[in-house]
Amino acid sequence: MKKIIFYTTFLTASLVLFSSCKKYLDINQNPNAAEEPPINGLLANTTYRTAFDVFNASDWTSYYTQYLASSNAGSAGDTYDEVDPSGTWDGFYNVMTDLYDLRKFAIEKGQDAYEGVADILMSLHINMATNLWGDIPYSQSFLGVNKITPAFDNQQSLFDTCIALLDKGIAELQKPGADGELDAASDFIHGGDADAWIKTAHALKARMLNQLSKTNKYSATAILSELSQAYSGNGDDAQVTSYQVRNPWAQVAVNNAGLNLDGWLSSYFVNAMNGATYGVFDPRLPLITLKTKYGDYRGTPNRKGRIGTGTQHEECYLDVGKWYSSDNSPLQIITYPECKFIEAEASYRSSQPTNAYAAYLAGIQSNMQKMGVPDTAIQRYINEPSVAVGASNLTLALIMKEKYVACFLSPVTWDDMRRMNYLYKDFALPFNAVINTFIRRMSYPIDETSTNGANVPDISGLDQRLWWDN
């Protein structure tokens, strides 16, 4: 019954919102004449579409992190060639436009919780976008000023904006009137729970502060403080599990089964789990994909393409009905396991080996529990000598390896790899990459360069580092 309510709310809102949620360059053409959409509809649209924006980002970055590989040789995503991410860019700005309106209407109506959610999701979108492209339009994007050709804001200043928005969101949600204010059926992420949103804001703040590990702004103390106010278990995770049709990764699997080939697993990812790289078989692998026709698990090398026809299961890919690719699989935004690995990293960097080791093990265990790995298999894995190394032998590389697996298909992994300078065991450039070093950013979309080219920053190449990656 709850699912029916969610669908009804979303579909009703869609009639109002999706027809008016135009592309970024077309928004607010006549704001004085626009009808005001229902605030619950804006909440439904933005919470639902945020998860799809995370998917759209990951649909690019998963090739850079070698979670996925193209089934065709020489694919642009595999080879670090320039691509056109206009769809992802437009999706971000469509939701950000609605978040701007959600916040504006919430202030007008004195609805603090709605304002808080708008601030938190705006922060998430800005951070994801700047981690893909660097400088982006923001301050002039939603105000009717230079709406066709907005200036680009500096990426470092936008990071500060993200932190300020999270702090503001927390403050709004902590106001006395915020509790119970959100319409539960319109909130696809936390079901109207203001306290859950506060935890998510702290989790996102910890993620963003952890992103500064290569800068002099990094503070393990600040990160650990945020985590102490964030998640305490898998039940706190920010995710969407109800869909109009199905989870988009499930759609990838359905398309692949219909021979529209997509969702093929990289040999690097498969080897990280099948024992080839680390000497231990990970029990999560059978929950992600099926064995090949050869009775083993093997991936596709990035840029080389598939070895067979693509119809005989010679290599592994996202299969229909698996944990990430079932119709109602969660689209994860930020999770408790990710928070435990952030805690492990911050504790390790601040010379707290006992706390780091405990968080590292908790990250593994909680992710396996969430995926439904049997307890006996969990214990067998975490007792493996290469996993159970003890606090004194824990390394940052081992923490990041386990986070890599637990954050499968998350765009945050590309942030991690750049912070770590791609120093993951056996990680290598794709075959015949078009640049001779690892990719550090995405190119700006054609939609933006064609209409706002005078303001689009010049970039030296896809190896140009973002401000926090120097």
Angle between helices 396-406 and 412-419 (to 10 degrees): 160
Q: What does the pLDDT read at residue 145?
A: 54
DSSP state string for 24-41: GGGTTSSTTTPPPPPHHH
Task: Kindly report the CATH number assigned to the domain that includes residue 40.
Answer: 1.25.40.390
195-204 exposure pattern, b = at least 16 Cβ within 10 A, e = fewer: ebbbbbbbbb
In a domain, 436, yes or no: yes
Q: What would the pLDDT profile of 164-179 be if each residue is shown by its tens digit?
A: 999 999 999 999 999 9
- For residue 387, the model assigns a pLDDT of 98
pLDDT-derived band at 32 (thresholds 50, 70, 90) equals very low
Total domains in the chain come to 1
Q: What is the tens place of the pLDDT at every residue in 347-368?
A: 999 999 999 999 999 999 999 9
**3 state SS of 192:** coil
Tokens linked to 404: 């890599």
Helix (H, G, I), strand (E, B) or coil at 294: coil
Query: 3-state SS of 306-370?
Result: CCCCCCCCCCCECCCCCCCCCCCCCEEEECHHHHHHHHHHHHHHCCCHHHHHHHHHHHHHHHHHH
Closest CA to 366 of 342, 346, 392, 348: 342
Mean of pLDDT values over 27-40: 56
Report the candidate in 414, 419, 255, 248 with the shortest Cα–Cα distance to residue 328.
248
Is residue 25 pLDDT above 90, yes or no? no
268 belongs to a structural domain? no
Q: What is the pLDDT of residues 54-92, one digit of tens each?
A: 999 999 999 999 999 999 887 888 889 999 999 999 999
Across the chain, what does the average pLDDT equal?
91
Alpha helix ranges (H) inside 18-135: 39-64, 76-79, 86-109, 112-133
With respect to residue 326, please indicate whether it lies within any of the assigned structural domains.
no
CB 107 within 8 A of CB 115: yes
262 domain residue, yes or no: no
Q: Which one-letter DSSP state was computed for residue 175? A: S
Q: Give 176-195 pLDDT, tens digit per residue.
A: 999 999 999 999 999 999 99
For the cut 80, the answer to whether the pLDDT of residue 151 exceeds it is yes
Please give the Cα distance from 8 to 251 (Å, whole number). Answer: 22
pTM for this predicted structure: 0.92
User: Distance between CA 324 and CA 322 in Å, rounded?
Assistant: 6
Q: Are residues 282 and 49 in contact, defined by beta-carbon separation less than 8 angstroms?
A: no
- How many C-beta atoms lie closer than 10 Å to residue 151's C-beta? 15
Mean pLDDT of 9-13: 38
Contact 71, 264 (CB under 8 A): yes
Kindly state the average pLDDT of the residues 285-298. 97
Q: What is the pLDDT of residues 221-255, one digit of tens each?
A: 999 999 999 999 999 999 999 999 999 999 999 99
* pLDDT for res 76: 82
Tell whether 159 is covered by a domain: yes
Domain-embedded: residue 194: yes
CA-based R_g, the chain, Å = 22
75 part of a folded domain:
yes
Q: Which domain holds residue 161?
A: 2-219+432-464
* Lowest pLDDT segment from 12-16, 153-157, 318-322, 461-465: 12-16
Angle at 194 between CA 236 and CA 101, to 5 degrees: 115
Q: How many CB atoms lie within 10 A of CB 307?
A: 12
Task: Say what percent of the chain tops pLDDT 90.
Answer: 84
SS3 106: helix
Residue 85: inside a domain: yes
Q: What are 462's two structure tokens?
A: 């896809």
| Tokens encoding 335 | 């999770």
Element spanning 449, H or E: helix 446-451
Contact, 148 vs 200, CB < 8 A? no
Intra-chain end-to-end CA distance of the chain, in Å: 51
